[in-house]
Amino acid sequence: MDLATLWAFILAFAIFTYVVLDGFDLGIGILFPFLQPGRHRDLAMNSVAPVWDGNETWLVLGGGALLAAFPLAYAIIMPALYAPIVAMLLALIFRGVAFEFRWRDVRHQKIWDFSFAGGSMLAAFAQGIALGALLQGVAVEGRQYSGGWWDWLSPFSVLTGVSLVAGYALLGSTWLIMKTEGSLQEHAFRHARISGIVTVICIGAVSLATPFLEEAYYEHWFAWPNVLFTAQVPLLVAIVTVALAVSLTRRYERLPFVLGLSLFALSMAGLGISIFPNIVPSRVSIDDAAAPRSSLLFMLIGAGILIPTILAYTAYSYWTFRGKVDHEGYH
Amino acid sequence: MFEGFDALLLARIQFAFTVSFHFIFPAFTIGLASYLAVLEGLWLWSGRAIFLDLFHYWIKIFALSFAMGVVSGIVLTYQFGTNWSVFSDRAGPIVGPLMAYEVLTAFFLEAGFLGIMLFGMTRVGKGLHFAATLAVAAGTLFSAFWIIAANSWMQTPVGHSISSSGQFVPTDWWQIIFNPSFPYRLIHTVLGAYLTTALVVGAVGAWHLLRAPNNAGARVMFSMAMGMVVSVAPIQAVMGDFHGLNTLKHQPTKIMAIEGHFESYPGGAPLYLFGFPDREAAAVRYPLAIPKLGSLILHHSFTAPIEGLKTVAREEWPPVGIVFWSFRVMVGLGLLMIALGGLALLARIRGRLYEWRILLLFAVAMGPAGFVAVIAGWVTTEVGRQPYTVYRLLRTAESASPLDAPAVASSLLAFIVVYFAVFSVGAWYILRLMSHAPAMAEPGLESGDVPIRTAGITPASAIDPDRTIGAKRI
């Protein structure tokens, strides 16, 4: 495997880690308006409070690594997704400080609850929009984005935006099933069923639409004999969906979260099948966008040592805060 | 509101705004993290409880500042792409890896140990906790190291070649990181951060001494802060001089703009103390100048010739007025800091450090001076690099994204509104914490019955016990 492809996989790994980790804590924010004010909301927020900051650092790594390893792709994608990215950044500010301010200003707690929920929803929706806008294709001329600043808005990108909100809500609710008990867990089961149904419908709709966005996508999915391989993805989605329904009905506590993550992993694999070997879909390939070898190599040394270290720390942190949250928090 | 502005100017304003706003937090937390490590170290070494009390007092303020630094910093990672896409494409192979190393070495290190530092005092051993505090302090310094390496390379670019597609291709990473201006810039910035923190700590100490002259915690923090100011402020002035000489060697037009030298002075240049540089007329209006002093400062000789901006093409000139004035603000505040340190030393010798009201009032007034000086210094160096993003190699006008003005204008407006709304609330909380006098057996972040959370997240009751009790009363 050449260095550029290796970096594409490292980048995909960083993005997937971000989605896995920040997905469920954004999901808690998305569910927030549907949780009872007071105890339930406190518990839900405390279940993610120890870990959300580390989770979000993967977003910074994703942006930084894209700039460093694929500067051309970064230079084209960011202006193309200008509005959704700015919206996401502003939403993340509100959401991030809400963790801090909600507890100390009891009189204005409603405002910070609103900031937390609104910020989480907007951030998730904007990320989904960005993904959809990228998939539907961006206009490129030379080494620059050449479209308008509203190009990102289309029925397809709104669909992917809604999908990601629903998917994160599924991760959030299955996380709560795992981390809580009693009446809050009951609510979480109900939220998981609803968001699970919406998520699966969305995955279906996006999957049906995607091959027709670009001819290349259609080729990647349906060309013989590729189709024997690619057909496994929808098949696995169907199996995971059934398993999720069963696990929710039988009130398994850990399995639904794992199955929710599996849906994301399969969607990500599907995305990879559509896009690869491009990085700006159908416009710029991984090789064309890659930084010079000296840059890729210099970073690979650091990434090779530091990413495993970071993963080890992250695992330790989750281990420290394992088990159900109760009202006493982590004392 | 933004009619008549073009997208380039708006993008520059947006970058200046978001970076300056963000820079306030690291300028404070770099110094504060080290201060906390010193306090904890002194406590472990001497066993005196007062150092632990002060550690607990300042860690609450640190937690808040750090959280705001994090959220305002995420914006910058993405802004290079949204507003400066051509720069990202061309300089990305060099600037990108340096920033990626910042994330990998600094951000994750901070995120990793912040939780233990904030909440782990009662859960891990003393040694491990101290190690966590040191790790966070090291993380803030690593962060400064990488970001200043990237910035310095943009000021004095070396160690690269330029490819056929116009990209900067790294050829020697050692040269890129340790580029000619890097050591001066790093030391000057880190000392600036230490001074900023010392002035804030000194102002808080002085404020409480004015109200209660016998408060033991206030005495210690004031004494330590003044010790820092008196020893570091003069060193900073010397470092600033070295940095200036380095800039003269590598970025002469920046020095010309700082000095307000439009003309050349073959027989020795004057130093303009004040005046209004007029870029159009290429002259300084209403000047107050000391003859020959400019040559003395820059070349350590009264008669050394100095060239002016008129020797270079006009399109190479930085905005003279901004650079001229921001430099004077920085140096003026630096001189006031030296004066404050000198007065404090005098008061200490005469045994009146904690009673001399004029000194205490002066220290309170100087509380925000570090922030202003650090931002003024940053403006001097960044605006002085204009009209280039990568000095003499890539023009600012050629670095921007192909965007319409309304897009940049509306995002700029959104950033301004959100930043002022969110961060003024945060600043209000910090000021409220500072208004609370340091107490004996100061509670740490672990106390209180609100759930303990990590990574810059602080429970209400632990941050501000009075507040929770007050809220219950309401």
pLDDT digits (tens, 9 = 90+) for B251-261: 888 888 888 88
Cβ pairs A/B, distance under 8 A: 255
Highest mean pLDDT among A122-131, B109-118, B317-326, B397-406: A122-131
Which of A75-79, A274-278, B286-290, B451-455 has the highest mean predicted lDDT (pLDDT)? A75-79
Least confidently predicted of A289-298, B115-124, B353-362 = B115-124
pLDDT for residue B20 is more than 60? yes
The minimum CA-CA distance between B194 and chain A, rounded to whole Å, is 26
Is B169 in a helix, a strand, or coil? Answer: strand
The two tokens of residue B463 are: 């941050």
Poorest-confidence range of A23-32, A153-162, B22-31, B302-311? B302-311
- Verify whether the Cβ–Cβ distance A103 to B72 is below 8 Å: no
Token digits for A70?
């694929």
Which two tokens mark B43?
């406590």
Q: Which amino acid is at B376?
A: A
**CA dist., res. A203 & res. A237, Å (int):** 9
Report the range of poorest mean pLDDT among A289-303, B107-121, B155-169, B229-243.
B107-121
pLDDT of the residue at B97:
92
A321 compared with B158, residue with greater pLDDT: B158
Specify the range with the lowest mean pLDDT, choosing from A89-93, A253-257, B393-397, B445-449. B445-449
* Contact state of A50 with B455 under an 8 Å Cβ cutoff: yes
**pLDDT score recorded for residue B4:** 54
Restricting to B residues 405-434, those with a Cβ less than 8 Å away from any Cβ of A are: 406-407, 411, 414-415, 418-419, 422, 425-426, 429
First-to-last CA distance in chain A? Answer: 48
Does residue A314 or residue B237 have the better pLDDT? B237
Nearest-CB residue to B103 (from A42, A54, A60): A60
State the pLDDT at residue B446: 56
pLDDT-derived band at A331 (thresholds 50, 70, 90) equals very low
Of A42, A97, A317, the CB nearest to B71: A97
- Asked if the C-beta of B455 comes within 8 angstroms of chain A's C-beta atoms, the answer is yes
Report which DSSP code applies to A108: G
pLDDT, mean over chain B: 85
* Predicted pLDDT of residue B369: 94
Count of other CB atoms within 10 angstroms of residue A291: 28
CA distance B168 to chain A (A): 9
Longest CA–CA separation in chain A, Å: 63
Mean of pLDDT values over B237-249? 89
Q: Which two tokens stand for residue B375?
A: 């931002």
Q: What pLDDT score does B2 carry?
A: 53
Count CA within 13 A, CB hemisphere, residue A106: 16
Instruction: Give the integer Cα–Cα distance in Å for A98 and B418.
Output: 13
Helix, strand, coil shares of chain B, percent, nearest 5, are: 70, 5, 25
Residue-wise pLDDT for B333-382, tens only, equals 999 999 999 999 999 999 888 888 899 999 999 999 999 999 999 999 98
CA distance A129 to B100: 26
| pLDDT recorded at residue B193 | 94
pLDDT at B43 exceeding the cut of 50: yes
Tens of pLDDT, residue by residue over B61-111, are: 888 888 888 888 888 888 888 888 888 888 989 999 999 999 888 888 887
Nearest beta carbon to residue B418 from set A69, A90, A327: A90
Q: What tokens were used for B77?
A: 């990672």
Q: How many CA atoms lie within 13 A of A209 on its CB side?
A: 16
Count CB neighbours of B206 within 10 A: 27
Any idea which of A140-149, A251-260, B227-236 has the lowest mean pLDDT? Answer: A140-149
3-state SS, residue B286 = strand
Top mean pLDDT of A43-47, A161-165, B129-133 is at A161-165
ipTM of this predicted complex? 0.85
Q: Residue range A242-251: average pLDDT?
A: 90
Q: Do B81 and A77 touch (CB under 8 A)?
A: yes
Quote the pLDDT of residue B3.
53
For A99, the closest chain B residue by CA position comes to: B457
Listed as own residue / partner, the contacts of B324-328 with beta carbons closer than 8 Å and 24 or more positions apart are B324/B257, B324/B258, B324/B259, B324/B260, B324/B272, B324/B275, B324/B277, B326/B376, B326/B377, B326/B379, B326/B380, B326/B383, B327/B258, B327/B376, B327/B377, B327/B380, B328/B273, B328/B274
Q: Would you report the helix, strand and coil content of chain A in percent, each value rounded to 5? A: 80, 5, 20
Q: Before A225, cis peptide (omega within 30)? A: yes
- Residue B459 has a pLDDT of 41
Report the residue of chain A nearest B166, measured CA to CA: A143
For A22-74, the pLDDT digits (tens) are: 899 899 999 988 988 888 888 888 787 777 777 888 888 888 888 889 888 88
A190/A200 Cα distance (integer angstroms): 16
pTM of the complete model: 0.87
pLDDT at B472 over 60: no
The pLDDT of residue B39 is: 93
CA dihedral B15, B16, B17, B19 (to 10 degrees): 80
Residue A265, token pair as written in the block? 């992993």
Compare A317 and B199 and report the one with higher pLDDT: B199
Provide φ and ψ at B396, rounded to 5°.
-60, -40
Q: Single out the residue of B66, B30, B417 nearest to residue A97, CA to CA.
A: B66
B89 in contact with A at a CB cutoff of 8 Å? yes
Question: What number of other Cβ atoms are within 10 A of residue A33's Cβ?
Answer: 14
pLDDT over 60 (residue B313): yes
Residues in chain B: 474
Higher pLDDT, A220 or B176: B176
Instruction: Return the structure tokens found at B413.
Output: 């407006």
Instruction: Provide DSSP, B93-114.
Output: HHHHHHHHHIIIIIIHHHHHHH
Count of other CB atoms within 10 angstroms of residue B29: 27
Q: Which residues pair with B170 in a beta bridge?
A: B160
pLDDT digits 0-9 by tens, A83-120: 899 999 999 988 888 877 777 677 788 888 898 999 99
Q: What is the C-alpha separation between B56 and A76, in angstroms, rounded?
A: 47
Q: Inter-chain contact B71–A83, Cβ cutoff 8 Å?
A: no
Average pLDDT score over chain A: 86
Nearest CA in chain A to B465: A104
Torsional class of B7: left (φ above 0), alpha (ψ -120 to 50), beta (otherwise): alpha
Across the range A204-218, mean pLDDT stands at: 85
Chain A contact set for B415 (CB, 8 A)? 86, 90
Distance (Å, whole) CA B459 – CA B463: 6
Among A306, A48, A100, which Cα is nearest to B106's? A306
**Sign of the torsion formed by the C-alpha atoms of B159, B162, B166 and B167:** negative
Task: Look at phi and psi of residue B260 and say left if phi exceeds 0, alpha if psi is from -120 to 50, else beta.
Answer: left
A100, A119 contact by CB (below 8 A): no
Instruction: Output the pLDDT for position B83.
Output: 85
First to last CA, chain B: 42
Number of C-alpha atoms within 13 angstroms, CB side, residue A153? Answer: 5
